[in-house]
Chain A
């Protein structure tokens, strides 16, 4: 080839060097004048103006520009740290039950009084008033004022009211919302026997929340249409028996410190925050490992099908179509039973087994498509032409070019697995109590939702936030890693 080129040069140069044609050496000398050694030019002209970026560096730069994705990444890291590292900081036992603290709202630590009924004082009976009124008064007035005697605590609330002229006796009502008219007074707690009983101690399942007490006078037969209301918020207090169950040295009047429950307690008095942390560990365990396993399997399956191609590919894909058609939940239930997990037993293993067995085809299809496409690409064919082995092509071209797609699939599979775990635990087929998972906690929270919504709201927020941020992160990753999106910009 070199020779031909030389000959060509010679022919081109012929007219100019025609006189020296006969002398071969001279011709060569002349030729040399055409081939000057390259002068080292200014390298900066050829150099790269910006440092070269690897695929991952480039993807990271793209991802950083996506505000939603970065916020999600921060959120995901935060929730992960909360459940993985949280239990080292927040060392409350998630399974410790405290029946004094059932379904308490969020609190940041407080002292509780140890109280008994004696601290509330004696019931007031005004001997100057006759047991029955001497004259009829119609209509009856409401009492002028109500006062709280002693210290209002969850052990008891002592109410005293002013006598109403002409009243035979009084009825005490209690409500958890402020009454606007006489039909909203709430639960009738007690009716006094005589007109001179002017106080009442309420100790009926009190909680440290505001109550509205109303007093209505009675003319012996009917209640008056007038009432007087007082708002009382009893302080959290332990009875002596309850306190001595914790420490026998306690006495009346001592105060007992109660741990903080930033997310409140559940219906067995367990700390919701500690349970959210351990529950998060289970949710994340399933959320990470189940998708990891089935995506790995799907990748291998799809990769092999695409790489081998032909009839094997056809049969393998037909089988994956068959698996897609199987209803997931039914097989979940079947494997739950087949694994011998009875009612109320943990279904983590069957859950993961079913996910791995049934959810791989989507990944397999995706990877197969990628591999088929890559096989036809110029760079793969060039590698084959240069004699690269199948392994080399697989490791150098196939895997690096599909890893982005697989990563995106994984990011979307994690929230869907967490979702599935929550759903299965919710219908009683996933993680079983007393172990916590976010789904189990939501399920338990729904039972008491109407009175203490925090037991449902917190796990629900955690599930939703996790799923949301993984979804947004997946969107961002797809935009950052997908080469086709890139060329479009």
Chain B
């Protein structure tokens, strides 16, 4: 197991290293340079600015400086926002995205387990059919549509009710988080429901359930202690991709609900071609996603001995 974790972490570091390198050279492939747009720049000012940002150095020197700073955790200073470092941006806005993401995952997981268990319990009866249709819808409707339509619906409900039942934009209160978290978690919930249903059906056919029934255990106890607990395990495998989906989904949801999260900043930086912010956030997001996936795999191995033995 230790060897497995070690090799995965090494692989992860290599991946992040590759992401950082690709990011750096992608930025340098772009025709022109970040200072090109500035107006009325004399050669002296330009030289000064280049020296300040280290742009007068050869590419390889810039690359080593960039990598050294990355390892030390320094992502540089934004080009478009004066005197604002990328580290500041991350430390200020990442917690917002993280809270939203955790809420969305919790909502998706609880909903997925509940609906999945329900469909498996009522297999081929109407609750199963209704929920599975909703699941396919949930997978097929893009999250920006879900977010926008839920916002529009809530505005109209608020209008009809005459009071603000749920705020439709902004951040701060818990009530602000409900709609975005639900919009963000919906497609993951749909996937989890489908997975949970399959998993419940698999577990339902297994020997230990038959043994439990033969022993004469109460059906409720079999359901909770044997079926539910064992069915939830495989859901952890989807957690890695789910975190990635929710992180990227956050870009859109944060934009629609006017949430000051990191995703919105990232999109904004790309639209403004703020090079240091793009580089910094790309490496940050890359490292975050890669290590999240590894963490999920390792945790799964720790929880489920069958996986550990297979490795």
Contacts and interface: CB of A to CB of B under 8 A. Distances in A.
A426 B270 contact: no
B22 A464 contact: no
Interface stretch (A5-13, A91-99, A231-239, A327-335): A327-335
Contacts of A326: 15, 18-19, 286
Contacts of A422: 142, 144
A464 B26 CA distance: 33
Contacts of A327: 19, 244, 285-286, 289-290
Contact of A329 (B11, B141, B248): B248
Nearest to B272: A343
A330 B286 contact: yes
A211 interface: no
B26 A337 contact: yes
Interface stretch (B114-122, B148-156, B218-226): B148-156
Given A343-B271, A428-B267, A468 B140 contact: yes
Contacts of A423: 142-144, 248, 252
Interface string B268-306: 001111000010001001100110010000000000000
A438 B251 CA distance: 18
Interface residues of A, number: 42
A221 interface: no
Nearest to A321: B11
Given A322-B15, A415-B140, A340 B151 contact: no
Interface in B12-35: 12, 14-15, 18-19, 22-23, 25-27, 29-31
B96 interface: no
Given A322-B15, A329-B248, A426-B252, A471 B148 contact: no
Contacts of B255: 427
Contacts of A442: 142, 144-145, 148
A446 interface: yes
A420 B199 CA distance: 28
Interface residues of B, number: 46
A415 B187 CA distance: 14
Contacts of B248: 328-329, 423
B155 A450 contact: yes
A430 to B, nearest CB: 12
A441 to B, nearest CB: 11
Interface in A115-159: none
Interface string A443-476: 1011001100100110010011001100110000
Contacts of B11: 321-322, 325
Nearest to A472: B136
B139 interface: yes
A343 B273 contact: yes
A468 B29 contact: no
Nearest to B16: A325
A463 B140 CA distance: 8
A460 B22 contact: no
B238 interface: no
Contacts of A333: 270, 278, 282
Given A337-B27, A338-B30, A325 B137 contact: no
Contact of B151 (A321, A338, A449): A449
Contacts of A336: 270
Contact of A460 (B29, B149, B293): B149
Contacts of A109: none
A314 interface: no
Contacts of A446: 144, 148, 256
Interface in B149-198: 149, 151-152, 155
B141 A464 contact: yes
Nearest to B255: A427
Contacts of B15: 322, 325-326
Contacts of A419: 142
Interface string A339-360: 0101100000000000000000
Given A343-B273, A419-B142, A427 B252 contact: yes
Contact of A468 (B31, B136, B290): B136
Contacts of B19: 326-327, 330
A336 B191 CA distance: 29
A464 B251 contact: no
7 contacts: A327-B285, A329-B251, A330-B285, A336-B270, A338-B25, A423-B144, A446-B148
Query: Nearest 4 CB-CB pairs, A to B?
Result: A468-B140, A338-B26, A334-B26, A460-B145
Interface of A: 321-322, 325-331, 333-338, 340, 342-343, 415, 419, 422-423, 426-429, 442-443, 445-446, 449-450, 453, 456-457, 460, 463-464, 467-468, 471-472
Given A329-B248, A343-B270, A453-B152, 5 more contacts: A322-B15, A422-B142, A422-B144, A428-B270, A468-B137
